[in-house]
Structure 1
Amino acid sequence: MPVTDDLQLLIDAAYASGDIARKFFNAEPEVWDKAGNAGPVTEADLAIDTMLRTDLLAARQNYGWLSEETEDTQDRLMNERVFIVDPIDGTRAFIAGEQHFSHSLAISQEGRITTAVVYVPMMDLMFAASEGQKSTLNGEIINTSDQSALEGATVLATKPHMQPEFWIGDVPPVKRKFRPSLAYRLCLVAQGRYDAMLTLRDCWEWDIAAGDLIVRQAGGTVTDRHNGPLYFNSPRPKTKGCHAAGPSLHKALQARIRQPEPQ
């Protein structure tokens, strides 16, 4: 199946996800706490997940499925191509009536992301990318920033990740900013609105799969906290952190990240 056909499939599905999300937004959707202190889930998350799973797998019957809101099975490991989906990335923001949540949809092929979209419905922002093509925002080509120095760089990260214990030497002299959706953070770096993003904790694949490709096709570099490339559709679908920036700034950040002592 051509990647271009897959991209349009994901774009259409992301817009349909936004239609569902808007119906529940600020409408007091039912909310449950997931087992294992895994955070909240709403009836909107589940409705979007059901729609995406039904429509996408009907369109691509030989693809596997990995989603935050679907019970995982190892069946997906037998598929060459796999949908990796977060129906709502930033559920807490969605519940709070904040607009910075997103829908993250990607397709992996043998461990790499080949097609990706991230849609921010309350601002009508459609980020998209496919292998061999530049990333776009609402159809316009986007690029990462050319910031190369740590001093003055804008970095999307949580406060805990800017504590001294995570860094070699002093905490880098960056301007810390925050958005609740990891997928959207990656897209803001791809767009060049912010210079970098980082999270040093393990990341679920569905949070970062789409953003990984969108940053890379915008000219940026994305790795885990050990500077390794991200691999997707793993038996345990988590990565060892994630950080993204233009190539020079990524290198400068990586050089300052304190690696854990060997066990």
Structure 2
Amino acid sequence: MPADDLSLLQQAAHEAGEIALRHWRRDPQVWDKPGGAGPVTEADLAVNAHLETLLRGARPDYGWLSEESPDDPARLAAEYCFIIDPIDGTRAFIDGQPGFSSSLAIARGGRITAAVVHLPAQDLTYCAAETGPAALNGVAISASDHGFEDATVLTGKPGLDPAHWRGVAPPLLRKFRPSLAWRLCLVAEGRFDAALSVRPAWEWDIAAGSLIAERAGCRATELGGAPLRFNRPGARTDGLLVAGAALHGQMLAAMTPRKAAGAAQLDALPRGG
């Protein structure tokens, strides 16, 4: 990884946050994406345009994968690729809630090499490189070592459905935050014990947060335990489980064995998230 890639992402994330805050709580224009893919605002598009100009201008040979840009298959042949969610938690942003973030990552060979998740309304910046610690506002963070019983898990309501847990409700406490990228960072910070998605996850939602969690001591995998890989053709993962190593293993063992989704099934999902 070029030595200043992380610094570039940090600069870009803070500039993205400044743009987002100009629209936040100011009744931004909102559209619904086709195919039930969720809302998008003028702020999402403005942040995306700025990030693409800044980042691709600085690294013209890097590929580009963003929730708010048409997919360019040329990214698959690039050695490095930006993976960007301009505003993660758009519904929270629209509602005037502060729990939205910008999620910026760089992938190489299927792995994330640099990552930043920035929450401008809360002045929080999480970051990590492929070596060294994860940090929040410049201070190293680490995940919890909580066991399975009464662990706090950031997940949507379907996450604790007994259908996913060998027919019984697990002894876990469910919590929720609107930005998936932020959920992974909160687990990295040790404020919660695990993050779980029983539905396919988009790469732009989890790329940055997964590296931050890993560098804080977590294990981050697809729901069936397969390693996360990024800059794939469909830009999706088959669910997500992030937790400290012991808890991760305990949760996998307690869950109903999962039949992995094929690439065709994941690719058939509408773009968005």
Pairwise TM-score range, normalised by the shorter structure: over 0.9
1:54-73 to 2 correspondences below 5 Å: 54-73=53-72
Aligned match of 2:250 in 220, 240, 252?
A: 252
Letter in 1 for 2:219: T
Instruction: Please name the residue that 1:84 is paired with.
Output: 83
Asked if 1:130 is matched to 2:129, the reply is: yes
SS at match of 1:41: strand
SS at match of 2:31: strand
RMSD, matched Cα: 1.2
Residue 241 (structure 1) aligned with residue 239 (structure 2): yes
Write the distance in 1 (CA, Å) between the matches of 2:88 and 2:260.
Answer: 33
Aligned pairs, number: 261
Task: Call closer, same or farther: CA 1:262–1:115 in 2, change over 3 Å.
Answer: closer
Q: Distance in 2 between matches of 1:89 and 1:68?
A: 9
Residue 108 of structure 1 aligns with an amino acid whose one-letter code is A
Alignment partner, residue 218 of structure 1: 216
Deviation at 1:261, TM superposition (A): 5.4
Shift in Å, 1:174 = 1.0
Instruction: Name the SS for the 2:148 alignment partner.
Output: coil
CA distance in 2, matches of 1:26, 1:67: 24
Asked if the contact 2:101–2:120 (Cα under 8 Å) also holds between the matched residues in 1, the reply is yes
Structure 2 equivalent of residue 37 of structure 1: 36
Q: Work out whether residues 21 and 120 of structure 2, in 8 Å CA contact, stay in contact via their aligned partners in 1.
A: yes
**Residue 157 of structure 2 corresponds to which residue in structure 1?**
159
Moved over 3 A (4+): 260-263
Q: Is the 1:112–1:231 contact (alpha carbons within 8 Å) kept by the matching residues of 2?
A: yes
Output the amino acid matched with 2:243.
A
With 136-145 and 153-162 compared, the bigger mean Cα shift is at: 153-162
Structure 2, unpaired ranges of 5+: 262-273
- Identify the residue that residue 190 of structure 1 maps to in structure 2: 188
Quote how far apart the aligned CAs of 1:256 are: 1.4
Q: Percent identity?
A: 53
Q: Does 1:231 align with 2:229?
A: yes
CA-to-partner distance for each residue in 1:95-146, whole Å, 9 max, x for gaps? 0001101000000001100000000111110000001110000000000001
Structure 1: tracts of 5 or more residues without a match: none
For residue 200 of structure 1, report the CA deviation from its aligned partner.
1.0
Alpha-carbon shift at residue 169 of structure 1 (Å): 4.2
Q: Distance in 2 between matches of 1:185 and 1:76?
A: 27
Deviates more, 1:64-73 or 1:149-158: 149-158
Counterpart AA for 1:72: D
User: Which deviations, in whole Å up to 9, do the C-alpha atoms of 1:192-241 show, x marking residues without a partner?
Assistant: 00000100100110000001100000011000011000000001100001
Q: What is the distance in 2 between the residues matched to 1:76 and 1:39?
A: 24
